[in-house]
């Protein structure tokens, strides 16, 4: 397996693509999963907050009710004495020590609102009148006990709410009004609420339906109306003042994003609220985020690695194909390596290469053959002749045998062209070549060198007579008239023959046979002349000796 980091390679680009896609997919998945988990967690925490608030609201309701019952019991006890307890009102109150546990102060007002007794400071008795206080008038109007709006106590200067309980005589005349004051800052009342806040920075608060703060960790805000504070009321609290109950996500007054829940009390128009900063609520999830991202990157890296290995494996046949092409190009392999049985695209591609290469090879063979063939006559051309004759000379040299080269030229061929046309000349050339091929032995080679010039190679010549016989046969074959241009043309040829051994060169043969041909032409054409390589007199003799014979053959 080869590891390549070349960015131009398909392997590299596919690997980068796969790793990129896997990374993208896992990142998106992680983000989506975290987002969904956050949403789900927010819903769960929101619902938990509402449940918590409902419990807290029920607790406060029960607490207020318990105090109302306590006051009612006190009123009934006072009623049983017809409003004149033995020892006086102050003594009556002080006899009920348990009241101090439940109320910051308990006071008894007469029908006009004058305070007759109180638990805090008896010196104020008969000196103060609360007849104009809203809780007094509200109680008169309702003819039953009320829970007052929060207000600042003139007695203690503390923010309080007052629970009232009126005592009427048989004629329906108000005798006394009992009041139980609850110190809003007193830990005992809201202290347990403070511990109910979620997380380190979560907290509970309480406002009346007109926006007056009853309870808040920031004590400064108690008794203030949220509408009057700097920045005004926040939208979520406004919704709660308008009647909304439940939870929402939004900014607090100090700009902290939080899950804020609201729940109205049953006993009074107070609204209990809870604030749970989102950041704190999601701390486990936020802490988990880097690990989740790290895990997704690790998964992406593993998937990318797997993808990379898969790509390397899948592209292996492509590498093999590329190597096959290179080996075929440098000649170290045959095109058969392309003929693979694979059934995939690589197999198809490889086999397509094989078919193409086969076609190319066939074309090359054809071209090669054409390069050695005379187009007009179909016999060997000069190039093929040179190869064949060089091989024949080499064989003769090895076997120490004799080779004869016959050089032929059709007599007055130009006249045929001129008289009957070039096409007729071609027909004669074609027929001449055919007859020449037939006239010599099958082991002899014939070729057309150019125009009307042909050659024949005779190997293994045993004696002097043999070339002469062959030359005679050539002259004979030309004697039969040639059908061309609708005519029967009389054609003759002249032949020059060079005889020698393997030691002579091709140039020697050609030069000498040409010389012999020239001699035959000079002697009157339609004849042959023979020359022997390496023996000038003998050549001349041979030419002379053959000419009459050839001339005689031609008569
Ligand atoms: N029809 C035809 N003519 C060709 C071809 N190639 C060459 N020729 C003609 O063949 C003739 C050859 O003439 P030469 O061999 O020089 O002269 P010749 O008329 O045969 O006379 P001698 O050889 O002296 O007998 C020229 O007229 C060429 O134009 C060919 O392929 N076809």
Provide the angle, in degrees to the nearest 10, between the axes of the packed helices 465-479 and 422-439.
Answer: 140
Atom of ligand 1 minimally distant from the CA of 418? 27
- Burial (CB count <10 Å: 0-12, 13-18, 19+), residue 189: buried
CB neighbours (10 Å) of residue 392?
22
Please give the positions annotated as active site.
452
- From residue 320, alpha-carbon distances to 84, 162, 511 in Å are 116, 95, 56
> In this structure, are residues 258 and 275 in contact, taking their beta carbons and an 8 Å threshold?
yes
> Three-state DSSP class for 346?
helix
Ligand 1 nearest-atom number relative to CA 453: 15
CA of 424 to the centre of ligand 1 (A): 12
Any idea where the domains of the chain sit in the sequence? 81-187, 315-368, 382-554
d(C-alpha 319, C-alpha 479), whole Å:
67
- Here the tokens at position 456 are 């024949």
Q: What distance in Å separates the CA atoms of residue 203 and residue 198, rounded to the nearest whole number? A: 6
Q: Left (φ > 0), alpha (ψ -120 to 50) or beta: where does 485 sit?
A: left
In 3D space, the residue among 158, 159, 164 whose CA is nearest the CA of residue 179 turns out to be: 164
Q: What does the chain come to in residues?
A: 555
* Ligand 1 atom 6: residue of nearest CA: 451
Centre of ligand 1 from the C-alpha of residue 546, in Å:
25
Whether 81-187 and 382-554 share one fold: the answer is: no
Domain 81-187 has CATH 3.40.50.720: no
- Ligand 1 centroid to Cα of residue 443, in Å, is 28
**537 CA to centre of ligand 1 in angstroms:** 32
382-554 fold: Alpha-Beta Plaits (3.30.70)
Q: Which of 220, 215, 139, 225 is nearest to 182 (CA)?
A: 215
User: What string of pLDDT tens digits covers the 555 residues of the chain?
Assistant: 455 578 888 878 888 888 888 888 888 888 888 888 888 888 888 888 889 889 888 888 888 899 999 999 999 999 999 888 999 999 999 999 889 988 999 999 999 999 999 998 899 999 999 999 999 999 999 999 999 998 988 888 888 999 999 999 888 899 999 999 998 877 666 666 666 666 778 888 999 999 999 888 888 888 899 999 888 899 999 999 999 999 999 999 888 999 999 999 998 889 999 998 988 887 777 788 788 888 888 888 888 888 888 888 888 888 888 898 899 889 898 888 888 888 888 888 888 988 998 999 899 999 988 899 999 999 999 999 999 999 999 999 999 999 999 999 999 999 999 999 999 999 999 999 999 999 999 999 999 999 999 999 999 998 878 999 999 999 999 999 999 989 999 999 999 999 987 688 999 999 999 999 999 999 999 999 999 987 533 443 334 333 333 333 332
Residues 6+ apart with CB under 8 A from 478: 410, 432, 435, 491, 492, 493
Protein residues with CB under 6 Å of any ligand 1 atom: 376, 409-415, 417, 422, 425-426, 429, 451-452, 521, 525
pTM (whole model) above 0.90: no
């Amino acid at each position: 397996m080869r590891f390549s980091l070349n960015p131009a390679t398909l392997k590299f680009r596919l690997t980068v693509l796969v790793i990129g896609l896997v990374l993208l997919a896992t990142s998106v998945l992680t983000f989506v999963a975290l987002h969904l988990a956050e949403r789900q967690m927010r819903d769960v925490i929101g619902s938990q907050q509402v449940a918590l608030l409902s419990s807290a609201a029920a607790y406060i309701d029960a607490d207020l009710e318990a105090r109302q019952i306590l006051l009612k019991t006190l009123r009934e006890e006072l009623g049983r004495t017809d409003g004149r307890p033995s020892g006086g009102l102050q003594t009556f109150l002080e006899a009920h020590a348990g009241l101090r546990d439940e109320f910051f102060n308990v006071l008894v007002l007469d029908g006009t609102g004058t305070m007759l007794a109180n638990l805090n400071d008896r010196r104020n008795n008969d000196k103060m009148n609360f007849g104009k206080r809203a809780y007094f008038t509200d109680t008169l109007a309702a003819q039953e006990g009320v829970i007052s709006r929060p207000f600042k106590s003139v007695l203690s200067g503390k923010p309080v709410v007052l629970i009232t309980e009126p005592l009427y005589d048989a004629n329906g005349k108000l005798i006394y009004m009992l009041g139980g004051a609850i110190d809003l800052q007193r830990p005992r009342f809201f202290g347990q609420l403070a511990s109910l806040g979620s997380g380190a920075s979560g907290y509970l608060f309480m406002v009346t339906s007109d926006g007056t703060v009853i309870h808040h960790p920031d004590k400064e805000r108690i008794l203030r109306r949220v509408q009057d504070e700097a920045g005004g009321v926040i939208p979520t609290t406004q919704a709660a003042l308008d009647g909304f109950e439940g939870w929402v996500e939004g900014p607090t007054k100090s700009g902290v994003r939080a899950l804020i829940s609201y729940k109205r009390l049953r006993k009074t128009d107070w609204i209990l609220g809870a604030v749970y900063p989102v950041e704190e609520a999601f701390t486990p999830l936020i802490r988990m985020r880097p690990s989740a991202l790290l895990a997704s990157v690790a998964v992406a890296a593993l998937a990318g690695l797997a993808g990379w290995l898969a790509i390397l494996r899948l592209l292996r046949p492509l590498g093999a194909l590329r190597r096959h092409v290179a080996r075929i190009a440098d000649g170290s392999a045959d095109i058969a390596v392309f003929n693979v049985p694979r059934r995939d695209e690589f197999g198809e591609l490889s086999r397509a290469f094989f078919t193409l290469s086969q076609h190319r090879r066939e074309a090359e063979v054809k071209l090669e053959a054409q390069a050695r063939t005379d187009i007009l006559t179909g016999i060997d051309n000069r190039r093929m002749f040179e190869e064949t004759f060089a091989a024949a000379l080499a064989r003769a040299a090895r076997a120490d045998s004799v080779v004869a080269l016959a050089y032929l030229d059709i007599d007055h061929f130009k006249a045929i062209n001129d008289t009957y046309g070039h096409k007729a000349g071609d027909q004669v050339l074609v027929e001449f070549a055919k007859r020449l091929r037939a006239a010599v032995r099958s082991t002899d080679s014939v070729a057309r060198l150019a125009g009307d010039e042909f050659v024949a190679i005779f190997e293994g010549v045993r004696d002097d007579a043999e070339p002469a016989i062959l030359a005679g046969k050539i002259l004979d074959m030309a004697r039969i008239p040639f059908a061309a241009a609708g005519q029967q043309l009389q054609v003759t040829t002249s032949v020059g023959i060079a005889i020698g051994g393997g030691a002579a060169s091709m140039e020697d043969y050609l030069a000498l046979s040409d010389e012999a041909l020239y001699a035959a032409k000079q002697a009157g054409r339609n004849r042959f002349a023979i020359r022997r390589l390496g023996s000038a007199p003998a050549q001349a003799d041979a030419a002379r000796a053959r000419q009459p014979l050839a001339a005689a053959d031609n008569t």
